Amino acid sequence: MAFFLMLTSANIKIFASNNTDEIETNMQEDIFSGHACAHDYSFDRNVSIISAPTFTEKGLLVRYCSKCGSGEYHDLYPLGDAKLKPGKYMIQSKCDTNNYVSVTPGQEYQGGNIAIYGKGKADQIFHVSPNGDSTYGFSYANSSNEVFMIDVAGGNFAGNVWLYPQNNMSPQAWYVVPDGEGWNTIVSKATYYVFDDVNFGTADGTNIGSYYCFPDDAQKYKFILLECDEHNWSPVELVKAPTDSEEGEMVYMCLDCCKTKSVKIPPKSKTITPNISLSKTSFIYNGKVQKPTVTVKDGKKVLKAGNDYIVSFSKTSKNVGKYSVKVTLKGNYKGSGTASYDIIPKGTKITKLTKKGNVYTFKWKKQSKQVSGYEFQYSTSKSFNKGKSTKIVRISKSSITKKKVKKLKSGNKYYIRIRTYKKIKGKKYYSLWSSIKSFKAQ
Ligand SMILES: [Zn+2]
Ligand SMILES: [Zn+2]
């Protein structure tokens, strides 16, 4: 578009930079040669960059007349960074705000043109990905093929913008330079040429070219964020508050792209008395730490350890004694409860029965660890019914391993058994009974 504005040498001044020495030299050549050249700068490959723009300084570009070789100078505006969030965007043209940067229909792959089309007439959604150096890649993703906008010229200037598979080269990297009023110039990192609506946004299918920077609307674009790659969620509406038993619902909105989502809120913490059951409530002393498996229920519902509750055991449960288990509810539940289990002493067994006169001597195996004494029973009842027929003998030293018994009634059958115990703070913890033995008194 800029071609037609350069009809006379006088017009040069309009676009001239402040590099006055160069310009005056060229003007003088024209004046003193005596025949003014109708300059032709249309051969845009006759271009070179005198100084590249930076983030604070303008750059300078020169185009040479293809007839006389004299130079025409143009500023390259300072770079900038619109700080675009990674995500999907539409890119609106300022020339005609109904027009958007588009993939030419049917040209979604390598070599496809980038053009402008009215809203909805073409594929107009591009993924913008920051490269980390204030430049961006613009890709069009269609199924598995992802193609990036490329400055075709790649150093030769004044080319089309088209699509090409990503090659990690600077012709696919673009600065997005904000003008402070919501519009941006899209500048090629390779050439400092910019996105240019070559036909001022007037017709569907007009190519986007890359051209040297002109301060006009054909080079101004707005990035409209459709969807962030990573949303910035904020709660905006409580649709339903949770109760003790029912979940609630909250709507969140992304503060950047305005997308919304609904999120379930778990029920409020419910206060219950947990139903605690242990895999075992009695363990036999074995010199090792022993703990039961704990199951916690809310009614019939089995709760989940870690999520719904934590279990703490009172102390190292190794020796004979009573141990407590504390269940503390958490998460959706509140409350606590305890259960307990015992570790009982190891039992013993009767090893020998001898008779001398009418005195019977019973011997048993000694148990010295975690045992205070023994309880020995003999009875004419096989089930050791309480009463006269069952005698209980307590031996309060674990080192004693025999007992003499007199006055057994001749002819009766007697049953005998033994168990150990440990006394802790006045409470006796008994072992299991030994197996029952029997003999006939004579
Ligand atoms: Zn010329
Ligand atoms: Zn978002």
Q: pLDDT for 29-55, tens place per residue?
A: 444 455 678 888 776 667 888 999 999
Alpha helices per DSSP H over 251-342 = none
348-377 confidence digits (pLDDT tens): 999 998 988 889 899 999 998 999 999 999
Question: What pLDDT was estimated at residue 27?
Answer: 47
CB-CB contact of 256 with 237 (8 Å): no
Q: What is the largest distance, in Å, between two alpha-carbon atoms of the chain?
A: 158
The amino acid occupying position 246 is E
Structure confidence at residue 143 (pLDDT): 53
User: What is the tens place of the pLDDT at every residue in 402-433?
Assistant: 999 888 888 889 999 999 999 999 999 999 99
Which numbered ligand comes closest to the C-alpha of 46? Answer: 1
Judged by phi (left if over 0) then psi (alpha if -120 to 50, else beta), residue 426 lies in left
| Ligand closest to CA 232 | 2
Between the CA of 36 and the centroid of ligand 1 the distance, in Å, is: 8
The model's confidence at residue 91, banded by pLDDT at 50, 70 and 90, is very high
* Model pLDDT, residue 13: 28
The answer, yes or no, to whether residue 129 has pLDDT greater than 90, is yes
Closest CA to 358 of 429, 412, 416: 412
Spacing, Cα 226 to ligand 2 middle (Å): 8
Instruction: Give the number of the ligand closest to the Cα of residue 29.
Output: 1
Going along the chain from its start, the domains and CATH numbers come out as: 2-76 (no CATH), 87-228 (2.80.10.50), 234-264 (no CATH), 270-344 (2.60.40), 350-440 (2.60.40.10)
pLDDT digits 0-9 by tens, 206-219: 989 888 888 789 99
Higher per-residue pLDDT: 245 or 406: 406
Q: Are 269 and 333 in contact (CB under 8 A)?
A: yes
333-334/270-271 β-pairing: parallel
- Token pair 């300022």 is found at 94
Determine the distance separating the centroid of ligand 1 and the alpha carbon of 68, expressed in angstroms: 4
pLDDT of residue 421: 97
Span from the CA of 153 to the centroid of ligand 1 (angstroms): 24
Q: How many Å lie between the centroid of ligand 2 and the Cα of residue 132?
A: 20
Is pLDDT of 276 > 60? Answer: yes
- pLDDT given for residue 9 in this prediction: 31
From the CA of 233, how far away is ligand 2's center (Å)?
A: 7
The pair phi, psi for residue 400, each rounded to 5°, is -80, 130
Mean pLDDT score, 185-202: 87
Side-chain-side CA neighbours of 48 within 13 Å: the count stands at 5
Distance CA(247)–CA(243), nearest Å, equals 7
Identify the pLDDT of residue 149. 83
Q: Kindly identify the ligand whose nearest atom is closest to the C-alpha of 225.
A: 2
Q: How far apart are CA 101 and CA 116, in angstroms?
A: 5
- Nearest ligand, CA 64: 1
DSSP result, 240-262: E---SSS-EEEEEEETTT--EEE
* Dist CA 40 CA 33 (whole Å): 17
Please name which ligand lies nearest the alpha carbon of 226: 2
